[in-house]
Structure 1
Amino acid sequence: MRLLLVGILLGSLLMLPELIQQRNQLLHESAVQSQQRTTARASENEDSEVSDNQSGSVLVSGSQSPLTEKMVQQAVGRRSESESGYISIWNWQGLENVTASARGLDSLHHFANSYLVGFQPFATNELWIPLYTLAIRKEYQYDHLQYAGLADIWQTSRQAYYQKRGDCEDHAILLADWLINLGVDARVALGTHKGEGHAWVVAIVNNTEYLLEATSKRRQPSWQAMPLAALAEGYEVEFQFNRDYFWAKTTSAATRSYRGNHWIRKSQFVRS
């Protein structure tokens, strides 16, 4: 009996550091969530009613004539409602893949860059907080289930925070915009994941590329838990954009690198 008690006591002592670590992590997560709720309540009524300006023009590399939002909307207006519900990749004056546009909640097409409106829900110095916040706040839902069968409707970063549901673009737009506010070179990547159309975020920190799956619901309170882009399997990127620029891949070959000669900066977005 004495040996049994000693064994139980030793086992408990060995487990103690792990239990303390788990307890500290739970307390930390609870504190973060409390901060988020407090900050969100203070600004939610004001921020959720803001209408961000998305209008602007695209300055295309190799062309002296800008592509304007009005031109895009006129071209899209000649399409059927179902056709205009898809993302559009635009050619301009003989130049291919110069930018992208997508239909927003206002039923109009806007340039992809314009959906990053410079929004962050609250201030933080921790780079893992934006992805963690998405994991606990926003639900994933396909656009066609949320918008009467339309295939692709985008939310701005502000809308993506206050709208309870959204798909991969909405998650990625909010995550990238928030990280940019924190000083990170963050971009929304467009392509496929395991053969299906998808959007995700690439973040370049200390000259290292990280692939952030914005739709992930894993709650990892650490930047070190983020995967290196070079090791992420199943992602086939074709385009990237941030608030200002749009990049296209110059080769049909698959790549896990988001910088280099196989990328060309096609255009710059200038907000009106």
Structure 2
Amino acid sequence: MRSWLIPTGIALALLLPELLRISGEEGRETRAVKQQLDDAIARRFDGDADSPSSRRDRQYGVVRVQGSSRPLPEETIQEIVAKRSVEQSAYVSVWNWQGINQVTASARGLDNKHHFANSYLVGFQPFKTRQLWVPLYTLAIRKEYQYDHLQYAGLADIWQTSRQAFYQKRGDCEDHAILLADWLINLGVDARVALGTHNGQGHAWVVAIVDDREYLLEATSKRRLSSWQAMPLAALAEGYEVEFQFNRNFFWAKQDASPTRKYRGSHWVKKSQFIRS
């Protein structure tokens, strides 16, 4: 035991300055992130053009469906939803159009109207960064997880846009995922919101494709990771069963019911394109 302890102690002594240097660099980086976060929050109260009080993002648009020459307008889904009960319209709706199944999805927003899933990614980023770990780290320190029915007087499912998700202190899985995906897209990442189940429960998360590798990002995680290398590969993530995925422009559906941990390939069909009006 002693013969192991002595050289190890010497090695640690030699490594200590380097460890302290790395720790100091990470500390400066995270302090810088927190300062940028504080500045972004402060802009909300200063009448900044990016604040929700001075800007309303337009979510309206149409969906161009693969295999149909007739686009699906938002007015159509809102007319249908308006005829349903509050309970029937409370959850995410997956839409068929012109005989084509599962072409897109919609959900109720803070304005109490259903909007296409893509429209919730409004092109928002709280602040600029070159480091891909910053958005997930920011969510971990900024946003609290809370079920919608506890936050919205019993309503089962309310979606926040990416901008709203940043300024709203609380939100559930899709609110976290929408903000994370939209911010990563701004950084040039092929990022998508995935819809499905986790351990049998309805869930939303983010898949990010970086250097041709698929990473599964649990947007609701409160682990304060400050390294992209710490992000898990999607192929190794257990318990996630994806059914659909979307980004700002496109909506994908899985070809069959077979489980998969791959988010690209022939088993995925690009069903539609969202055109914001």
Tell me the equivalent position of 1:94.
Answer: 99
Tell me the equivalent position of 1:217.
Answer: 222
Task: Please give the secondary structure, in 2, of the residue aligned with 1:188.
Answer: strand
Q: Is the 8 A contact 1:188 1:200 kept in 2?
A: yes
Distance 1:12 1:243 in 2: 49
Among residues 218, 234, 241, which one is paired with 2:239 in the alignment? 234
Change (3 A) 1:108 1:15: same
Cα displacement (A) at 1:106: 0.2
Query: Which is further off, 181-190 or 77-86?
Result: 77-86
Q: Is the 8 A contact 1:40 1:122 kept in 2?
A: no
Cα displacement (A) at 1:31: 2.4
* Cα offsets for 1:66-100 (capped at 9, x unmatched): 11100000000011112211100001111110000
Task: Please give the secondary structure, in 2, of the residue aligned with 1:82.
Answer: coil
Return the TM-score normalized by structure 1: 0.93
Query: Which is further off, 133-142 or 11-20?
Result: 11-20
Cα displacement (A) at 1:12: 8.0
Distance 2:128 2:250 in 1: 25
1:13 aligns with 2:18: no
Alignment of 1:67-146 (within 5 A): 67-146=72-151
Q: Is the 8 A contact 2:33 2:138 kept in 1?
A: no
Distance 2:102 2:255 in 1: 10
For 1:22, give the aligned amino acid: S
Q: Is the 8 A contact 2:41 2:167 kept in 1?
A: no
Distance 1:166 1:39 in 2: 18
Distance 1:107 1:23 in 2: 47
Distance 1:82 1:222 in 2: 42
Task: Please give the secondary structure, in 2, of the residue aligned with 1:154.
Answer: coil
Segments of 5+ residues of structure 2 without an aligned counterpart are 1-5
1:31 aligns with 2:32: yes
Q: Is the 8 A contact 2:180 2:206 kept in 1?
A: yes
Cα displacement (A) at 1:27: 3.3
Tell me the equivalent position of 1:246.
Answer: 251
For 1:26, give the aligned amino acid: G
Query: Which is further off, 126-135 or 19-28?
Result: 19-28
For 2:52, give the aligned amino acid: S
Q: Identical aligned pairs, as a percentage?
A: 67
Distance 1:20 1:52 in 2: 43
Distance 1:56 1:20 in 2: 51
What's the RMSD between the two structures over aligned residues?
A: 1.9
Change (3 A) 1:12 1:234: closer
Aligned residues: 266
For 1:48, give the aligned amino acid: P
* Cα offsets for 1:146-179 (capped at 9, x unmatched): 1111111000000000000000000000000011
Return the TM-score normalized by structure 2: 0.91
Q: Is the 8 A contact 2:36 2:127 kept in 1?
A: no
Tell me the equivalent position of 2:52.
Answer: 48
Distance 1:183 1:152 in 2: 30
Cα displacement (A) at 1:11: 9.4
Change (3 A) 1:64 1:10: closer
Task: Please give the secondary structure, in 2, of the residue aligned with 1:86.
Answer: coil
Distance 2:155 2:115 in 1: 16
Cα displacement (A) at 1:23: 4.1
Task: Please give the secondary structure, in 2, of the residue aligned with 1:261.
Answer: coil
Change (3 A) 1:94 1:37: same
Segments of 5+ residues of structure 1 without an aligned counterpart are 1-5
Distance 1:48 1:91 in 2: 33
Cα displacement (A) at 1:15: 7.4
Distance 1:150 1:253 in 2: 32
Cα displacement (A) at 1:32: 2.0
